[in-house]
Each structure stands twice: as structure tokens, then as C-alpha cells.
Amino acid sequence: MIIDLFRRVLGRKARIVDQPRLRVHALAQHGVRRDQISACALRTTDALHKAGFEAFVVGGAVRDLLLNRAPKDFDVATNATPDDVRRVIRRSRIIGRRFQIVHAMCNDEVVEVSTFRALQGSSEDDQAADEHGRLIRDNVFGSQEDDARRRDFTANALFYDPRKQEIWDYFDGLGDIQARRLRMIGDPAVRYREDPVRMLRAVRFAAKLGFRIDEGARAPIRGLADLLSNVPSARLFDEMLKLLLSGHAVECLRQLRAEGLHHGMLPLIDTVLDEPEGARFVNLALTSTDQRVADDKPVSPAFLFATLLWHQVRVTAARIETEGESAVPALFTAMDAVLDAQKVKLAIPRRYDAVMKEIWSLQSRFLQRGGQRPYRLLEHPRFRAAWDFLVLRAEAGEVEASLAQWWEDFQDGDDDARAALLVAEDRPKRRRRRGGRSRRGGSDEGGGNGTRGSSDDDGEDA
């Protein structure tokens, strides 16, 4: 009655999640069978049950099975402490500092086992928050109900008991999944302040699962978006990578913009998406990434970020050239400037920098289609990634489609076909040289389509 009164007074935007009330759903109600759980997760839960502990498959795996999706992994929650789990599961190891968990290993599969966590610590040493409300320490064991309370969304707070094939549900998460609704547990504003990354997770889950964000969970997001500036850049990068590799990157980015969360996440993308040329290239790149994820093909994060930042690299390099710098040094200066600016907010790991720079710098070498240069480019370890990048540029109308087609024909052709392509490229240039001023070094130094002779060496050093 009290909750109903609050709802009538405050309206739907302030929807309050009911106090936890355990509902146990039988197999006939949910349809998730024991044989749908991975062998390693079953072995882990069975061993803990045999040792006298409670053990449940929890979180995203349960949610995905209810949606007829194949879970990427299976996590287990238990009332056993990490030391208890370590004793019961022979092939396991304890990891973590902020909160210890156990990795149970079965051949190539790893199951993450966590002890039920408390909603609040028993002392200030157990749990602490910064001045913005973000939790910076949270390391207390608790009950299953506590563990359900502290999870972010109702759809992620379901516990599956493999023995009885039951789902334990404290916040009507099953009902929300059936309604395809993403609903926050607790006061959304408070939960976002505790961990601002939850706002990004709301967008990612909604886009990935095809859910709508409950109005109560959606309403505070725009006003609290600035809290993301307090999140460590490395953690922000990890969450952004999950979002971009979710298989629904296009929809995620659209929803980030709709919720006002895109500013600061990829600062240099903010302006790109407002420019037709840049927006087309980025959308093509994200669509291609989504398709590769759907086809279960590998996706390179370095390639993805190279596509997202390319437009700004081009714009910056063009500006530097107008200041009197030549093309190749301007490009390398622009690369460093764009990456440095991006890392202020999003800590792209340095191991990706070299790959991104190679992909960018090799683009000019695709213009060089005479002499031995195409053969040398084929042998470059980043050729395939750079060529894929060139194809995207051609689809976006940034370069002629015939250039990408030429390189496809060249790499697929035999020796005779390749030689014929080279001759077709070089013959007009040789006629012009005979009639005009000679160039030192012949066709191999001159390059095709007006490229500078020095760019080949610069590209090799990228």
C-alpha cells in the first residue's frame, strides 16, 4: 500500500522496485533445463552441493537462456567462501583484491565462482564511497538476498539451481525479461552514483537484448552523465570495448547519443557523427563489426578504433599541411595528436597504438601500384587489415572504388595477372617521362597516381 502511494504521488518516472520477495519458478514456468548448462558449471555446482554448500548459476547466463540465447560464459554464486571453494574444487585458484573470487577450471572452460556479497558493509572499512557516491571499496560477504539486492538490473538478478531446475527470483526479473524491460534494482539515481558505468551498461543491455529501458531507470541518466568523468579511464575503455563488440554497436552508439552519454566517451567521435562524410564511414565500420560478431569472426579492437578515429586524423593532418608541413610528416603528427587527445578520457592501451598507426600510414602506399612496391606491400604484416580499411574508405566514397578493386585483383592474381596489372599502371607514366623531364630512380621511385617517393620508406617505418 505504501509503495502504491509513492507511485501515485511521484508518478511512473519514479517507479520503485518492490522489496525483495523470493519467487521460486519451477521448470514448467521457465523452461531452462539442466542440460543447457555447461559441463564445467554443472561440475562446479554439483561439487559445492555435495560439500554442503548452496550453489547457483547466476546473472547473464540465466537471462540469456531465458531469451533462447547461447551464453558466452557461466558464472556461479555460492554461500561458500573463496577458501571453501578452493578446497572443494581441485583445479581452481583465488583471484582479485577488491573482492576475491575463484576461477574453477575444466579443460578449456573457466567458471567464475563468487561468494554471495552483502549490500552494505558492516563497517566503514568494508565499504566506502567517494564524494560523488561512487563505491571505491566493497568487500563483504552476505546472503543470497543481499547478493540479489546489490546487482544492477532485475534481469541480471536471477539464480538457477541446477539440481531442482528452479529459478530463484527476488525482484520479478523473470517478469521483466518476458516484458523485455530493463529495470533497475533500487533507486536508479543512487545506483548510478555508486557506479556511473551502470548507465553505459543500461544502454548496452538494452541495445543487445532489444529491451526498452524502464522510465524510472532512464530518467536520471542525462542529468548524471557527467559522473562518467570520475570513472578511471582504463575501466571506461573496457566498458566501451564491450559496447562496441556487443554485436549491436550501431544501435549502442545511437542510444548513447539519445541518452546524452556519447560526449566524453569518444570525444573525437562527437563531431564526426555530425558530419555526413565522417558519420558514413563510422557507421559502415560499426555495421561491418556487428556483422563479423554475428558471423562469429574475430574482431580487432585496434582496427575498430582506427576506423573510429580516422576522420579526425585526416582533418588534423590537412590542417597541419596548410601550415606548411609536407603530407607524410603531417600525417604522423596528426596521428600522435589525435591519440593523445583521445586518451585524456578513454585509455586506449598503447599496444593498439602501433597497429592503428600502421593501418593509417599504409593507406598512402595503396596509391603506389608500379614497380616492386605492390609486392612489398603484400608482404607487410598489416596488409590485410590496411586493405580492409581501404575497402571501407571506398564504400564511404572517400577513395575510388577502382583502387580497392585493383588491390583485390592484385592480391588474388597469379604472377602473370599481377604483372599485367603493373604494366597497365606504369605504361602511361613511362610515355610521359620520355617526353618530359627525367626523374631519378625510374618507375620504382616515382610511384603511381602522384604519390611522393619518400612515402614508401615512411610507411615501412610506421
Q: Which residue has the higher pLDDT, 342 or 111?
A: 111
Q: Which long-range contacts (CB under 8 A, 24 or more apart) does 397-406 make?
A: 397/277, 397/280, 398/277, 398/281, 403/366, 403/367, 406/369
- Top CATH class of 301-305+313-460 equals mainly alpha
**pLDDT band with cut points at 50, 70 and 90 for residue 279:** confident
**pLDDT band with cut points at 50, 70 and 90 for residue 223:** very high
Q: Which residue has the higher pLDDT, 431 or 203?
A: 203
Return the residue matching grid coordinates 552508439: 253
The DSSP element (H or E) to which 136 belongs, if any, is strand 135-138
Strand, helix or coil for residue 129 = strand
Position 456 scores a pLDDT of 39
Position 14 scores a pLDDT of 39
Position 460 scores a pLDDT of 36
Q: Which CATH number fits domain 23-179: 3.40.50.800, 3.50.30.50, 3.30.479.10, 3.30.460.10?
A: 3.30.460.10
Question: So which residues are the catalytic ones?
Answer: 73, 75, 152
What residues does each domain of the chain span?
A: 23-179, 301-305+313-460
**Predicted confidence (pLDDT) at residue 363 exceeds the cutoff of 80:** yes
Strand, helix or coil for residue 262 = coil
Strand, helix or coil for residue 440 = coil
The DSSP element (H or E) to which 5 belongs, if any, is helix 2-10
User: In 210-316, where do the E strands start and end?
Assistant: 212-213
Which of 78-92, 148-162, 298-312 has the least mean pLDDT? 298-312
Contact 30, 167 (CB under 8 A): yes
**Predicted confidence (pLDDT) at residue 75 exceeds the cutoff of 90:** yes
